[in-house]
């Protein structure tokens, strides 16, 4: 599993298909750290619409929630990019200056998380400047 940054663009969305596996696998300690830092936990911005769509055996999505390209943007949860940016920037800043804060999980290390948060932060800054909405999409 991984996380992609999806940026809503009207009736569609864009992403750079950049994997953020370390952020996904270390979400529990990242959420705990976010709480310590007084910011919204990063998993609050996760959206599982894509994963549910790809695993859909029970026709969970009705016709208004799908298109030829896949799931409709209306089926997903979206958040102001500036809100997600506050969380990601706080986590990255803390982890960059406090080594050994996070455990290693499934081979993913704190350095991996810092790199991935930096990538997310860049994308979120661009989206926030344009007042876009985003989510951190769980992808299989």
Encode pLDDT of 98-119 as tens digits: 999 999 999 999 999 999 999 9
Contact in structure between 20 and 82 (CB atoms under 8 Å): no
Share of the chain above pLDDT 90, in %: 73
Rounded to whole angstroms, the Cα distance separating 91 from 33 reads: 7
pLDDT confidence of residue 23:
98
Strand 12-14 vs strand 79-80: parallel, antiparallel, or unpaired? Answer: unpaired
Q: How confident is the model at residue 58 (pLDDT cuts 50, 70, 90)?
A: very low
Domain boundaries, the chain: 2-57+65-139
Listed in order, strand segments (DSSP E) in the chain are 2-9, 12-14, 46-47, 66-67, 70-71, 79-80, 133-139
């Amino acid at each position: 599993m991984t996380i992609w940054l999806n940026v809503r663009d009207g009736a569609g969305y864009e992403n750079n298909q950049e994997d953020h596996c370390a952020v996904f696998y270390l979400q529990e300690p990242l959420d705990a750290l976010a709480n310590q830092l007084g910011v919204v936990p990063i998993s609050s911005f996760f959206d599982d619409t894509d994963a549910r769509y790809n695993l859909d055996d029970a026709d969970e999505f009705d016709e208004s929630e799908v298109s030829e390209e896949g799931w409709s943007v209306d089926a997903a949860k979206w958040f102001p990019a500036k809100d997600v940016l506050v969380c990601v920037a706080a986590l990255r800043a803390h982890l960059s200056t406090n080594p050994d804060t996070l455990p290693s999980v499934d081979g993913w290390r704190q350095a991996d998380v810092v790199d991935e948060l930096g990538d997310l932060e860049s994308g979120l800054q661009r989206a926030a400047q344009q007042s876009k909405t985003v989510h951190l999409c769980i992808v299989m």
